[in-house]
Amino acid sequence: MRIDGRDFLHILKFGDTGALVALLQTGLNRAMGAALVPDGIFGPATDRAVRAFQRAQGLTVDGLAGPRTQAALRPWYRGYVTHTVVRGDTLWRVAGRYDTTLSALETANPGLDPFDLRIGQRLTVPLPFAVVPTDIPWSSALAEYAAQGLTARYPALRRESLGRSVLGRELTALTLGEGARRVLFTAAHHANEWITAPLLMKYIEALLDAYYAGEPLGSFAAEEVWTGSRITLVPTVNPDGVDLVTDALTAAERQGAEAIARRWPSIPFPAGWKANIEGVDLNLQYPALWETARQIKFAQGFTSPAPRDYVGAAPLAAAESRALADFTRRLDPALILAYHTQGEVIYWKFLDREPEGSRELGELMSRLSGYALEDVPYASAFAGYKDWFIDVFDRPGYTVEAGRGDNPLPLSQFDEIWRDNVDLLSAAALG
């Protein structure tokens, strides 16, 4: 099996743990109603479910979730199947066979004539569940499956690549909407703040669902957001780091980070890891008084690769930050949001720079979310993505610190974070 052009290196087995096991459990629940708790622990119940799935699929029944088993589960990871029309098929029969709706079929197959199905015609068939799960840890594998599923179910959703991470994972951007106002939302700059990635992915799916159903999204009309803006989202800026924190790396991929972590025994590993896989803090990489950030962090002792707060050898030396900066220049957005955790605050200025309209929009987003609108503390006021955007573009940019507590925030906070931010996101899109 290949995900994002890379070999799927994991063979999951009894006793394994982590985000990929939780994804496996979710796929089994969707495929066969396995009723597994997606706790990321490959125990007896998961073993039985894997064997039952293998038996039903005509695979070797060995309890190992290797390439063939993962390939068979792919439709339930992505949320759609491809159906080839045979004699006697009607759109209604296809919908009934897969327990989907006519409207979902028509959305996934633009230009389809339901009264003129042709034998051999291939249809994209959405399956009857949301693509984006919000009850399991994030991973680059899950990000790839969700992007594949959403772009298949909603062809109006456009996908492009910013580049690649240090370990070769794709940095994916997704764009929706038809308006003239371009905005850019980003998340998971920091590895242990990965809960912000499913937040943006759920927003994509919820806005698409609401737009095609002619329904509101939160307090906003989805059609107004769709026609008034063009939203580009980069949900996972730091995929390698996220996979490290959620236990979705191979042993070989973890080695470098483990060596770095041993030099910082006071920082919990991997829970305290914010940096990219090379130990560079991606949100301290931008040429917005980077030298001042370097001075501050060096004074704190972060003078070499570390789980957090190392600014790197030079501005934009990290592959991920450089890719995002280059992409932002090409996109030339009217506004950016950078999602982090935690604190329930919105940071909106770079030093005394106050782009036109940024205070008013910040106050609106504060009212909608309940988050405080604040200035950044001095020690964190330099070299961030938001700082660089304001400095270079002189347009509104915001860092949104979602949730409260110790990172990584538990998924039990997700629903509250969603409620707090769904209207904030739409307000930022419309300006």
Asked whether the beta carbons of 339 and 187 are under 8 A apart, the reply is: yes
Whether the bond between 270 and the residue before it is cis, its omega within 30 degrees of 0, is yes
Q: Look up 401 and say whether it is catalytic.
A: yes
Catalytic residue of the set 144, 193, 278, 401 = 401
Asked whether the beta carbons of 387 and 350 are under 8 A apart, the reply is: yes
Asked whether the beta carbons of 141 and 3 are under 8 A apart, the reply is: yes
Phi-psi region of 196 (alpha: psi -120 to 50; beta: other; left: phi over 0): alpha
Q: What span, in angstroms and rounded, lies between the C-alpha atoms of 176 and 229?
A: 8
Residues 6+ apart with CB under 8 A from 300: 309
DSSP string computed for 365-409 = HHHHH-PEEEPPPGGG-SS-HHHHHHHHH-S-EEEEEES-SSSSP
Asked whether the beta carbons of 384 and 392 are under 8 A apart, the reply is: no
Phi-psi region of 306 (alpha: psi -120 to 50; beta: other; left: phi over 0): beta
For residue 5, the 8-state DSSP code is T
The closest of 333, 324, 326 to 395, measured between CA atoms, is 333
For residue 58, the 8-state DSSP code is T
H helix or E strand, kind and range, residue 32: helix 19-32
Q: What span, in angstroms and rounded, lies between the C-alpha atoms of 134 and 201?
A: 9
The closest of 232, 194, 254, 209 to 22, measured between CA atoms, is 194
Angle between helices 196-213 and 140-153 (to 10 degrees): 10
The type of residue at 375 is: D
**Maximum pairwise Cα distance, the chain:** 74
The type of residue at 356 is: E
Q: Tokens representing 220?
A: 């906003």
What is the phi/psi pair of residue 162, to 5°? -85, -25
Q: What span, in angstroms and rounded, lies between the C-alpha atoms of 74 and 131?
A: 12
Given the DSSP bridges, would you call strands 220-221 and 170-176 parallel, antiparallel or unpaired? unpaired
The catalytic residues are: 401
